[in-house]
Amino acid sequence: MSLIISNEIIKASGLSEDELLVEIILLLFQQEKISLGKAAELLNMSQIRFQRLIAERGICIHYDVAELQEDIQHFQAKGWL
């Protein structure tokens, strides 16, 4: 599924398209709708970089066993484990 956000909404937000995407991903992470690993992947950044971003924003890391398992699968898929 694709989501189209009108130019009017982007303009009203005062953000660039990339900045708006970051805000949406941060909101989804903060509401525990997506994991840290998925958020970092969607923003095409390392998990460490994403952790720094949420730390700068004062957002707590919600990390549980399911997220650990997801991260392990991600690392295995990348050949890092």
Q: How many domains does the chain have?
A: 1
CB 57 within 8 A of CB 30: no
Query: Is residue 6 in a domain?
Result: no
Query: Is residue 59 in a domain?
Result: yes
Query: Is residue 8 in a domain?
Result: no
Tell me, what's the pLDDT at 3? 83
pLDDT, tens only, 18-64? 999 999 999 999 999 998 899 999 999 999 999 999 999 999 887 77
* Spatial CA neighbour of 50 closest among 19, 73, 29, 78: 29
Can you give the pTM of this predicted structure?
0.72
Query: Is residue 38 in a domain?
Result: yes
Query: Is residue 33 in a domain?
Result: yes
Tell me, what's the pLDDT at 56? 95
Query: Is residue 7 in a domain?
Result: no
Q: How would DSSP label each residue in the chain?
A: ------HHHHHHHT--HHHHHHHHHHHHHHTTSS-HHHHHHHTT--HHHHHHHHHHHTPPP---HHHHHHHHHHHHHTT--
Query: Is residue 60 in a domain?
Result: yes
Domain that holds residue 24: 14-77
